[in-house]
Amino acid sequence: MTNTHETTPVIPLPEAGARLATTVGAIATLASTFLAWTWTDEFPGDLTVTGYPGGLQVITLVGAALTLLFALAGHGVRGLGWLNPARSNNAPLLIALGTFGTTWYTIIAIAQELGGIANLEPGGFVAAAASLITLLAALGLPLHRDTDPASSGLKKALATVFGIGGTKLARPKALPSWAQILVIAAAFAIGLFVASYGLQAESEQFVGFLILAAFGVASLSRSGLSARLKALTTEHRKVTVIAAFAAAAAFPFTQNTDEFTLLAVSILIFATVALGLNVVVGLAGLLDLGYVAFLGVGAYTAALVSGSTASTFGVHLPFWAAALTGAAASLIFGVLIGAPTLRLRGDYLAIVTLGFGEIFRITMGNLDGTSGPSVTNGPNGVPNIPDLKFFGYDFGAEHTIGGFTLGSYANYFWLMLLCTALVVTIFARAGSSRIGRAWVAIREDETAATAMGINGFRVKLIAFALGATLAGLAGTVQAHVQHTVVPEMYVFAGPVPPSSAFLLAAVILGGMGTITGPLLGATLLYVIPTKLQFLNDYQLLFFGLALILLMRFRPEGVVANKRQQLEYHENDPIDVPEPRQSEETGAGIAKAGA
């Protein structure tokens, strides 16, 4: 009788030694976070307390704990196999690298800001040495290497460590439906906690958070946990949508002040506009460099009809009417601009849309009663936009819900969350519809699509008008959130988003043609410049370097569209699953042969 039970694999002695050293180093790194790293509390986070980690020590603590768990999972500790279903040694290496980067960044920052390594306490030296030992030990683990003969040099090295290629997973144990739903809910709860922590982190602490988060995401991907979670969310789509919306809606309850809630509202506005641009660029393939102007059209329209004391119209419409008016105005402008220009292609269309964006900004600055008609107050814009009042609910007042006192921006956060959900639904429905398939056909080859009977001009005009409408809708909320609208808010390229350049970068960085891609890209491009303001003029330098590296090694974006991923990696090998052999299949084959 054949034994069907799996046997515990025998780990070679060098690998066992490397795992043991990684485990010991992770424990030492974890213990070092309970020691004082510096003697003064002038460094952000107060790293002077012994017995209680604070600031960047907490991030090192989390990284060391994850490294320890991955190392124990590699040792075959019962109950931890789920942590590394791919059985990859790259996962502990990546998280150890992230922990090392965070720890050494902290030590260097302390020495630089306080004036030398003399400001370090023994705990800082212990943390630096322990994290280095952990990383060196993790480097001794045999890695899962890229076997593609066409890959070479840096690309092959990155594919080896970060797992650009596919990841083979061990067959998981079947979980009951209720357990799968709990896993999905827990994943979104953890995501909410991590996002809240990252938004509240100070500048130095945010850099450490960013380092560990980047390597942590890579390690989860390499371990196979991301693929497992994606399979669960695909199987339970409705539960996933509900859990995602509930986690996002719970964000204001995790905040003590309105500071970071306002940041979250701005992120949602930027992400919604980026998703609207994704209709134009990602689906229809139209390069629009003046898209932020449609956001301005919606914002200015809402500002002028919402009862502002500076409005020249003297109209005060309810919000739903102001929102519809702003969206309709953006739609009209989209059709008026698109009708004479969408017969152009490529660079010519990009130049025309860039000109439209600049014309809009200059025109809004000239409608001041001196250079032109008195409509927008010129460079002063439209200030004193009142808070929304929707069915008696004052968005500008604090409200108590379940014992939590929430500020005014929590109300705008929920309103913008509903707008984002509406835009996501429209994008998903339009992308999978007949017109959406026509957009993709135009994007891939307009000549071939036209030859097959698709009216290219009409299809592109619909995409342009829909994208403009979605941007205008987001603009109506932006006007009430910021209580003022000025022309300088709608430029082609500025130090802080939203701008046309940042919107386009968010779509490309996140992944054209996807839903989560632009949302993720917009979040990163808004949060990182806001948190790293101490870099001043170097922000754009690092931003440019990041874009260069991304376009070189992952041109399809962070969240890749499958079609474009195949196009960009058409020479990469495809993992073909091996057929499973068992007694039943063998008996079936024998019976068929007989």
Q: What is the pLDDT of residues 244-270, one digit of tens each?
A: 999 999 999 888 778 888 889 999 999
Q: What is the pLDDT of residues 115-128, one digit of tens each?
A: 888 889 899 999 99
Tokens of 254: 């995790």
**Which pLDDT value is given to residue 156?**
47
Per-residue pLDDT of the chain (594 residues; tens, 9 = 90+): 444 444 445 556 577 788 889 999 999 999 999 999 998 888 888 888 888 898 899 999 999 999 999 888 876 677 777 787 877 788 889 999 999 999 999 999 999 888 888 889 899 999 999 999 999 999 988 865 444 444 444 444 444 444 444 445 555 567 788 888 899 999 999 999 998 998 888 888 888 999 999 999 989 888 888 888 888 888 888 999 999 999 999 999 888 778 888 889 999 999 999 999 999 998 888 888 888 999 999 999 999 988 888 788 878 888 888 899 999 999 999 999 888 888 888 888 889 989 988 999 999 888 887 877 888 888 888 888 888 887 777 787 777 777 777 888 888 899 999 999 999 999 888 888 899 899 889 888 888 888 888 888 899 999 999 999 999 999 999 998 888 898 888 888 766 677 888 888 888 888 888 888 889 888 888 888 888 776 666 777 777 787 788 778 777 778 777 666 666 555 555 444 444 444 444 444 344 444
Query: Where along the chain do its domains lie?
Result: 13-144+183-241, 267-496
Q: How far apart are CA 92 and CA 70, in angstroms?
A: 5
DSSP β-bridge partners for residue 374: 368
**Which pLDDT value is given to residue 167?**
47
222 in Cβ contact with 162 (< 8 Å)? yes
The DSSP secondary structure of 251-312, one letter per residue, reads GGGG-SSSHHHHHHHHHHHHHHHHHHHHIIIIIT----S-THHHHHHHHHHHHHHBT-TT-S
Please tell me what DSSP assigns to residue 535.
G
By the 10 Å C-beta count (0-12 exposed, 13-18 middle, 19+ buried), 396 is classed as middle
Phi first, then psi: what are they for 57, rounded to 5°?
-60, -35
| Secondary element (H or E) of residue 233 | helix 225-235
Q: How far apart are CA 533 and CA 438, in angstroms?
A: 43
Question: What's the 3-state SS for 169-198?
Answer: CCCCCCCCHHHHHHHHHHHHHHHHHHHHHH
